[in-house]
Structure 1
């Protein structure tokens, strides 16, 4: 937030939402090795709804429907505790979800035009994991009412508990219950679906070396800035179709990951390094066999690394780098996921590390149907933000669906060291696609 721009949000109430149905005493929820590895990060989804979505009495109705949906999500209302092996687990004790309401001193349209990424953080409720989390709520919900009736609902949680697919599914279930609909994807919490598989080879493969390097790497702490780029369907169609001529099946994610990787690489003073590396994060639910259900609640992410010679990146252009990213993602194998899973399980130190970094990381969230999450039939969000806490290193790119819909339109959220963000937003190769900038953070 700029120094001369005071906060426009005011706290109204602080409550706790509990499940409408008590959980069985003694119920616990175990956390997987992948869950534990993500504990340094937090997740924040913010859904912006137009003025017509909620009435004056809907805040209390939202709390009622939240209590109903929490009956299906016992780990969400529980509290962290140490298990027998000193690893975290969730004691499902119905302690509840922290719920905060705030007023925002502007309209929703004005906010999206003038707020930056730092001010947007006022719309989510978050505190870092304390030393003793026995009374600390790992899930937080903040309901923000704008002047004129618009609303933003911010949902936050520890990355230790869930990934974005799971957090979005929780939100979707809430919106369905609020509309008196059946929950489409009843959550699955059991971990046996991730066990009983043939043990993979844990050799010094490039993937395992990548994870080992990541687990011991450190990054200088620099101030990060954020910006959101809205790309229209027509603007991306030409670039994606040209890439498909060279590489059939190319997606908007492939194209945008390549574009931003090249543009960000040009900003960095790393001439002494002949190669550039990109960490690629995808949801692995579909590429393991049998596929993990969409409703599996937890972390099912897969991180991998693609490295290319810088000279080739500069000479070959976006289309060739797009092909390289597409081939990398489509050639991911189930064995790689299980190798990473087994390596995390066998680590002598179970301590978490920064999964998003230190190299530039690009996250594919194209599969999230966030604009279908309605609390009133026909009233879709006007924007959805997707933020990850505790980011360090070279930066983060998150590719999400767009409210516009269409086969190609996407929203791209970027976090970079502050001195690089203004230069990225002036990059002519990006500007040729005529993005709309919102929630842009400046020096």
Structure 2
């Protein structure tokens, strides 16, 4: 079916190239109105994630200008935005890329209801995942809950190449007067920045080793771009496979993202409760939780991670595991509280991935680490930040101390005003084993 005028709504796919639903809209319509709807509740909060998002929108808007067209930007809810568009131009169909979070599914349901009521076609496509979640199933037709099995099955299915359709039939008359706030420090968002990283992906040949050392620039910093879709997962996969080989560790990380997204799709209750082990009697100490959030626990590697999060919106992946383990198995606080705090702070926050990783560390998720495996923060920092480069960067009060002194802060203070450890790790790890055992 061909449409005269269609509407395409950007969500977590902030690019024109290799955008499945956008390409389908353009190929099946005479003209396509493109819009982005900014949640006013998000816009009110000056967060690192908002600044990154605004970078992405600004870059996308400029790309439309370059193509002699307009990105219509609204601040409000989707129903209102669609009505504003229809006041100026009647639309025959709405195109969108599917998302599988509870908020996104609610949004898609509301748009679908609007289309049914107003006799429009609602067209949804899978774009931010390599595979439709209903495609990867066991022989019994059930979703996989073990990563290794999911991986072995899904790698048998070729990942589609990025689409190179040349689309130009965008609607070019202005509808919205909303202006993006430009009075902010840029945070590296936008497709241009993503492509620069992707073009140099071959530099990460030693990623498997370097990714564990927070004091080394060994990560790709593509997670936020992946989250907001400034590059497609297909572009990411094939760039890595072509430059580093299909067996590179970065490929498996794409599949972990895919796995957790499929888990969220098939088991949406993981947002509210543990996938397994719902019998854990978590404890709650407000002072301990505040110390963890503020990076004042007296455990340097934990505090450095939390301060990096609070002051940049990012946290090194190895350190994410350490701070999550500390919250759940040293402080015995419910993983959901930590997950919610990360949701507030992380630029690259992805519900499926964040939830999956937290439940993996807390030993409550599908295919989680064994409950008796507990990260020792003191050993972790000695192994992965031996010279304390990362710790000193984020904890300036420890800068005067040498690395040996910092690694001995478990027992001595060396006259520093840095807080003493709020718990005894060896004691708390035994309690954690009793809780899970």
What range is the shorter-chain TM-score in?
under 0.3
Q: Which has the higher helix share?
A: 2
Q: Which has the higher strand share?
A: 1
Compare relative contact order (CA 8 Å, sep 6+) and give the higher one, 1 or 2: 1
Give me the TM-score of the superposition, normalised by structure 1. 0.25
Larger radius of gyration: 2
